[in-house]
Amino acid sequence: MKRKLFAVLLVIAMLLCGCSAAPQSTSQSTTPSESQKQGWQIPADALDNYSGEILYVREVGKVTGKDAFTDTAQRFDVGATDLGFCYYDAQMQRLVTVFGDTFGADMSANWRSNVALYTDQIDYSAGIAYTGALTAAGHAESGCAVQLTPNGGRGVLVQGSAAETPKTSTCIPTGAVMVGNITYLFYMEIDENGFQDSGEWFVYCCRVLKSEDHGVSWTQVEGLTWQARTEDGETGLAPNFAQIYPFLAEDGYIYLYGIPGGRSGGTKLGRVEAEKIEDFSAYEYFTGYDSDGTPKWRAGSSGLSYIKQRDSAYVIDMPCGEMCVTYNAYLGKYLALYQNGSSLVYRTADNPWGPFSKPETILKTATDVYLGYGAFTCQQMADNGGQRIWILVSEWWPIYNVSQIEIVFR
C-alpha cells in the first residue's frame, strides 16, 4: 500500500551467541527437549515484552532503504517500500522476499506495485542483506527491481502477464508458495477508488501468477480468481478471500488464509491438494467443526457461497490484517502472525485449521513500531529449531520501509 515515510527504532545490535540460522527442515516434527533449548540472555536493546510465552523481542535493523544491511536504494532502486512476504526456493537455496508499493532511490519517482529481492545467505542473525533482485534481465546483483504483476490501472502488462486490470489502482502481493520448483504468487487488485480515509481499502479480486524459472518470468494462472467485489461495486462470490496467504503444509495441502480488503475482517480458510493448485474447482472451504471437533469442508464455488455469511467459517476472529502462517517446530504448533488493531500478534494451533489460541502481543504499533503493520516470516527464518525467529515488519511514517525483528520464545 502506498505509504508516506516513517520513523521507528534504529537498532543494529550485537549478535547473540553467534548461532547459525541455517535453513530448517520443512518436517513438522516434535518440540525440542529442555536440553535442546538455547540459554538466551535478554539483550540491553530489547523492546517491551507483552507475552509470557516470549523471552524477548528486539529490532535487528532495516532490510530496505538506504540505511538497510544492503543499500537497496542504490543497488536496486528500492528506496521506500513495505510488506515483505518471504518464501524459500530450496533448489536455489535462496530466500526471496516480495514487497508491496515501492518507490525509487529518491523515494518519489519510479513507483512500482511490487518488487522482489533475494538473498543467498543462510545466517540471518546479523540482519538480512539482499544480494540480488528480480530485474528486467532476470536475476541480477544490481539494477532496477521490476514489478512482477500487471501494472494496475495503467494497461501495461509486465513479464508476460495475461490479465489486464483496468479497474485497479495497484496490485499488491499477499503471499507466495512453491510447489516443486514452480512459484505461485498471490496478489490482490485494489479497486481504482479503493483507499479510504479510514485506512481501509476495497479489493476487486485476488489472482495468482506463476514462475517456472525461479522468478525470471511470470505468467497469469488462468481461472484462479477470487472475486471480492464486482465491477459495479457489489459484493462478489469471495469477499473474505480478497487477500490470500498460501501455506503448504506437511499433509500435502496448500491452505489459503483469506481476509477481506483492509485490516478489520476475520480469517476464513480454503485448501487444495498441492498438485491441483491450478484447478479452481478442486479448492474446498472450511465451514466449521463437527461435534467431535473434526473440520468440515465444502468444495468449489458452492463452498465459497456457503461460507460467505457464516461466522462458523472463521478460523481467526476479526480484526485481522496482513496475515502470515508458518509451522514452528520448537513450539510444535502452527504459527499465525497478523495485525490485531493497534498490535502485531501471534496465535498457535495444532492444525492448520485451528482452533487457534488467544492472541499474544509481539509489538504495539503506537509505541514500539509507530504505525507499523505486517509480520511476515517463513520456516527458514529461524534457528535452534524455531526458538528464535525473525519477522519483517513494515513502518509507515516517516520512514516507509521494512525492519527485521527478532523474537526468542521461552
Which tens digit of pLDDT belongs to each residue from 252-289?
Answer: 999 999 999 999 999 999 999 999 999 999 999 999 99
| C-alpha–C-alpha distance, residues 383 and 392, integer Å | 16
The answer to whether the beta carbons of residues 7 and 398 sit under 8 Å apart is yes
CA–CA gap between residue 135 and residue 130 (Å, rounded): 14
Q: What is the distance in angstroms between the CA of the first residue and the CA of the last residue of the chain? A: 34
Query: Does the structure show a pLDDT above 70 at 37?
Result: no
Q: Phi/psi of residue 136, each to 5°? A: -60, -25
Cis? peptide before 355, omega within 30° of 0: yes
Is the pLDDT at 2 greater than 90? The verdict is no
pTM > 0.85: yes
Cα gap 88→247, rounded to integer Å: 12
pLDDT score recorded for residue 398: 81
- 34 pLDDT above the threshold of 60: no
Instruction: Name the percent of the chain lying above pLDDT 90.
Output: 77
What cell was used for 249?
A: 503444509
State how far the Cα of 33 lies from the Cα of 222, in Å rounded to an integer. 47
Kindly give the pairing relationship between strand 314-316 and strand 295-299. unpaired
Rounded CA-CA distance 390/127 in Å is 9
pLDDT in tens, 68-115: 999 999 999 999 999 999 999 999 999 999 999 999 998 778 999 999
- Quick check: 296 and 287 in contact, CB under 8 A? yes
What pLDDT, in 10s, does the model give residues 160-205? 444 555 567 889 999 999 999 999 999 999 887 667 766 689 899 9
pLDDT value of residue 377: 98
The cell numbers describing 156, all together, are: 501495461
**Distances, alpha carbon 302 to alpha carbons 231, 261, 384, in Å:** 21, 22, 44
Q: Report d(CA 132, CA 367) in Å as an integer.
A: 33
